Amino acid sequence: FYNIYKNNLLLKTIQDNLNICEYLDECIIYGDAYSYFVETVYNAGSTYSVTNASLPHNQYLLNNEIGSGGGKIANIFAGLSLRENTLAAPYVFSISVLSNDNYSFFEKNLTVYNQINISSSPSCSAFPADMKLVFKIPVTNQQLVFRKNLNPGYTINNRNNLLIAKWDEKRDWIKLSAISRLEKKSDNFSFLLLETSVNSLGTFGIVYNADDDYCKQVQVKNRMFAPFAGFPGLAAASITFPNPKKESVQIVIYNISGSRILQKKFDFGLMAYSWDGKIANDEIAAPGLYIVNIIIDGKEKEAYKTYIYLMK
């Protein structure tokens, strides 16, 4: 059998399929380097391989083409999953690691960790279906580890105060509702997974939120938006809302006369919705006031309601 050692500590013993075997070490922290060697154990003794040292895990850019069959793009920080038939044609998705330089102009002491950017070619301001975004935070000895040499002191007990946030190009972060769960990898290493669903791409990160009631409310950024203006920061209204059970969501938008102009259904547990003003045939709706109904699990009587204003 084989013993695999990591930094001189036993990592894994492999006893099956010894002729053809491989082992993927997922218990790594961004920016760290590790050393590995293999001990081959026989009845009469054992031999050791040379020690192999990894480079620091600094994967800054990753590209992947995803088509109508669905797929995923992921790096060491986060991953985006698209279901089948989300896309009508292939898109090239890119995920890149940023240097945490996007600071909120409105919340001076807000720190956003593990910032990434997800984009597509061709670009798209809002996709027709929801996409699952999951951040992975390493947990060692109950401590959350964001990056090498970056330790804000959070533990697994703070898991319910961590949210995913999205940069809105107006020097502010939109906090998104998120569901957390723990994925154990070994006795002293786990991943805290933060999951949300979105229908638009951009820059995302992880933020600590002390307000326990924040994710129990509907939040609107760019309540007044202007798709015609040509400014990315004003091109769409962004709405976040609670959906802790990841139930199906219907977005129904009415004009001031009460006529329904748009209805979308999402089955992936949507928690954030961006509307760029487009209705049927990619036409832009007329300027004016619109009422947005957010129906979760088909419960129309319990629908969340908010309003937005489309400007010229």
DSSP letters, 157-183, are: GGGGGEEEEEE-SSS-EEEE--EEEEE
Q: Let me know whether 72 and 110 are in one domain.
A: yes
The rounded distance, in Å, linking the Cα atoms of 109 and 104 is 8
pLDDT of res. 105: 52
Instruction: Flag whether pLDDT at 133 surpasses 90.
Output: yes
Domain boundary among 164, 179, 214: 214
Domain boundary among 179, 214, 249: 214
The rounded distance, in Å, linking the Cα atoms of 192 and 270 is 20
DSSP state of 278: B
C-beta separation of 263 from 310 below 8 A = no
Q: Let me know whether 210 and 230 are in one domain.
A: no
Q: What is the CA radius of gyration of the chain?
A: 23
Q: Let me know whether 163 and 18 are in one domain.
A: no
Q: Let me know whether 185 and 227 are in one domain.
A: no
CATH number, domain of 188, equals 2.60.220.30
Look over the chain and give the mean of its residue pLDDT values, rounded to a whole number.
Answer: 86
Q: Let me know whether 15 and 68 are in one domain.
A: no
pLDDT of res. 305: 93
Q: Let me know whether 236 and 114 are in one domain.
A: no
Torsion 8-11-17-21 (CA) sign: negative
pLDDT of res. 78: 92
Q: Let me know whether 78 and 199 are in one domain.
A: yes
pLDDT of res. 303: 93
pTM of the predicted model as reported, rounded to 2 decimal places = 0.78
Q: Let me know whether 267 and 289 are in one domain.
A: yes
The rounded distance, in Å, linking the Cα atoms of 217 and 219 is 6
pLDDT of res. 148: 59
Q: Let me know whether 80 and 177 are in one domain.
A: yes
The DSSP bridge partners found for residue 184 are 190
Q: Let me know whether 17 and 71 are in one domain.
A: no
Q: Which domain holds residue 274?
A: 219-310
153-157, 254-258, 272-276 — most confident range: 254-258
Q: Let me know whether 181 and 74 are in one domain.
A: yes
pLDDT of res. 149: 60
Lowest mean pLDDT among 10-14, 167-171, 186-190, 264-268: 167-171
50-64, 143-157, 189-203 — most confident range: 189-203
pLDDT of res. 103: 64
2-16, 105-119, 212-226 — most confident range: 2-16
Mean pLDDT (whole number) for 103-131: 80
Convert the pLDDT of each residue in 23-56 to its tens digit: 888 888 887 889 999 999 998 999 999 998 887 7
**Placement of tokens 């088909």 in the chain:** 298
Q: Of all helices (H) and strands (E), which one includes residue 82? A: strand 78-82
Q: Let me know whether 20 and 127 are in one domain.
A: no
**Percent of the chain topping pLDDT 70:** 92
Rounded to the nearest 5 percent, the helix, strand and coil shares of the chain are: 5, 50, 45
Looking at the chain, how many residues does it have?
Answer: 312
pLDDT of res. 99: 72
Convert the pLDDT of each residue in 233-261 to its tens digit: 788 888 988 888 888 999 999 999 999 99
Convert the pLDDT of each residue in 191-230 to its tens digit: 999 999 888 899 999 988 876 665 667 888 889 999 887 7
C-beta separation of 93 from 78 below 8 A = no
b/e string for 290-304 if b means 16 or more Cβ within 10 A?
Answer: bebbbbbeeeeeeeb
Half-sphere exposure of 19 (CA within 13 A, CB side): 0
